[in-house]
Amino acid sequence: MGKSCCAIDCTNRSSEGSEQSFYRLPKAAEKRRLWIAAIWRDSWYPGTETWICGSHFVSGKKSDDPLHPDYVPSLFSFTSTADRTRAVNHLERYVLYAFRLCHVYLPGSLASGGAVSNIFV
């Protein structure tokens, strides 16, 4: 069975050879509640086979990190240009933050010409 996006005004459908990603709404109660609130449909009770496409995520795919801007879909037909820009900026800040976490700079490290043993002092 094909997948279709549940977002209002979204006509994305899965098809063979399509590169569009689709994601089921989460089963975890709190995350599911956040996604349903973000999708913003009146009197809507999604089932177990409800899907949303990657177009509604800033990076194009969902994230399981609660700090990531794509933890909850945020791009919809009703999303203002300012909110879209804010979401892209949030993603850029998150990527920079994640990069900094992975690259700890210590005095005397290899980058400044120090010996390997200096890293562990």
pLDDT in tens, 71-116: 999 999 999 999 999 999 999 999 988 888 876 655 555 454 544 4
Q: Closest by alpha carbon to 2, among 17, 21, 15?
A: 15
| β-strand partners of 23 | 52
Contacts of 109 (CB under 8 A, 6+ apart): 118, 119
Q: Closest by alpha carbon to 53, among 12, 19, 88, 25?
A: 12
CB 93 within 8 A of CB 47: no
Residue 121 has pLDDT above 50, yes or no: no
Give the pLDDT confidence of 53-62 residue by residue, as tens digits. 999 999 999 9
Q: Count the neighbouring beta carbons within 10 Å of the beta carbon of residue 25.
A: 18
pLDDT, residue 97, reads 86
Burial class (CB in 10 A: 0-12, 13-18, 19+), 46: middle
Specify the DSSP element, H or E, that contains 23.
Answer: strand 22-24
Give the pLDDT confidence of 4-18 residue by residue, as tens digits. 999 999 999 998 888
